[in-house]
Amino acid sequence: MSRQRILASLAGVAAAGALTVVMPASPAAAAADCAAAWSSSKVYTGGMTASYKGRNWSAKWWTQNETPGVTTSGVWADKGACGGGTTTPAPSPSSAPSCNHPAWAAGRAYKTGDVVRYTDGRYYRAEHDNPGYDPVISTWYWEPYACSGGSTPTPTPTGPSTPSGFVVSEAQFNQMFPNRNPFYTYKGLTAALGAYPGFAKTGTDTVRKQEAAAFLANVNHETGGLVHVVEQNTANYSHYCDRSQSYGCPAGQSAYYGRGPIQLSWNFNYKAAGDALGINLLSNPNLVQTDSAVAWKTALWYWNTQNGPGTMTPHNAMVNGRGFGETIRSINGSLECGGRNPAQVQSRVNSYQRFTQILGTTPGSNLTC
């Protein structure tokens, strides 16, 4: 099996095979004192703080040389003016004057409290800072919003229904993974799709098939053809507990090893994914290896909401024409892209080309990174 390292490899833990996308920090009041000044050469990990131009900032995940308040990646959370200043409160729904909020734009950075009009005509409010994630992708970053004062207020949606008509049939799924572990069921995958209704449901039929093929090709690479459910190197198990997190490791020191289609690992990844999905994975990480739908949901969580070591989510890469190579960068670019491991890149590309052929579509351009 080829276990992949996402973001954590940049922080010097590639040997442990860790995924280190960190859940964004919650807004908080400004600190009374300024933290240590931000340094472009210093590595910051999730929860670490720095001050820049009179404000305190908190890193949401691994970062280096990304200027607080300037970079558009969304890695830095503004904690307010330091040295006795105050944080400007985010606007609340009750303060919205009307329904004439601006249209949502992919890739534009949004702050907590921003209200946008989505392409479906509905309004959404940013629950947490984000670099332009699709409002229907995750309830962690956006919430439905009923604005006031407009002549025809848009009703608040009750949540997406479970999508139907997945572009990959069960027969095609079985053809892609002839030797898969019985745990990775087609039913579990289709049951998980409701968590991210934009996945393989955005754009033309070709784009939808390409995204499904790209997701499954990367998953194929991560799990050795959907064979491995858990990380095979048990010697790594005790490494994945970061006790610097305030919530610690309630399930135990060795409980957060790699599981599922993306080999989710580390306590903070289980917490981030669990919070986004509404499942307490921090206290019960074993769900990722015992519940097929939950396992698939964690893979879709990463695919649809996390940039990894890349500059965009794999979902955005596929629906915005950036190509399969950009999904590799978002999943394991720090170890494979830029000539670091061309054989691994080609392995992913080969799977993607085979899967697009099975789905009766073309692979498109920009296949490598």
What residues act catalytically? 222
Question: What is the rounded distance in angstroms from the CA atom of residue 218 to the CA atom of residue 40?
Answer: 32
Closest CA to 79 of 52, 61, 109, 55: 55
- Nearest Cα neighbor of 248 from 267, 235, 262, 233 is 267
C-alpha 221/C-alpha 261 separation (Å) is 9
- The answer to whether residues 81 and 32 touch, using CB atoms and an 8 Å cutoff, is no
Other beta carbons less than 10 A from residue 243's beta carbon = 10
Task: Give the span between the Cα atoms of 81 and 308, in whole angstroms.
Answer: 29
∠ CA 304-308-309, nearest 5°, is 145
- 110 φ, ψ to 5°? -120, 145
The separation between CA 232 and the C-alpha centre of its own chain, rounded to angstroms, equals 24
Which class for 59: exposed (0-12), middle (13-18), buried (19 or more C-beta within 10 A)?
A: buried
Phi-psi category of residue 156: left, alpha or beta, with phi > 0 → left and psi -120 to 50 → alpha: beta
Burial class (CB in 10 A: 0-12, 13-18, 19+), 160: middle
168 vs 85, 174, 356, 360, CA distance in Å? 54, 10, 10, 10
